[in-house]
Amino acid sequence: MKTLDRLWTVNEVAAYLGVPVGTLYQWRCRRIGPPGRRIGKHLRYLPEDVRAWVREQA
């Protein structure tokens, strides 16, 4: 059984993608970036969603 990955923060996704944090927020507003979820007041990303989004960009 695979261990579930923890959710990624905005900073972790930005580092993974090599883009500024502000770019992620702009993409989110324009609905063109990887799907994120609000957990309380925090924005978090599922690692598999981010990886799938990257694959779709190719």
**pLDDT at res. 1:** 41
Domain-located, residue 1: no
Domain-located, residue 5: no
Domain that holds residue 29: 10-56
**pLDDT at res. 58:** 80
Residue 36 and residue 34: Cα distance in Å, rounded?
A: 6
CA dist list (Å): 16 to 21, 31, 40, 46: 11, 19, 23, 13
Domain-located, residue 4: no
State the total domains in the chain.
Answer: 1
pLDDT by residue (tens digit) across 22-35? 999 999 999 999 99
Band the pLDDT of 5: cuts 50, 70, 90.
Answer: confident
Decide: pTM greater than 0.85: yes
Domain-located, residue 39: yes
Domain-located, residue 3: no
Percentage of the chain surpassing pLDDT 70?
A: 93
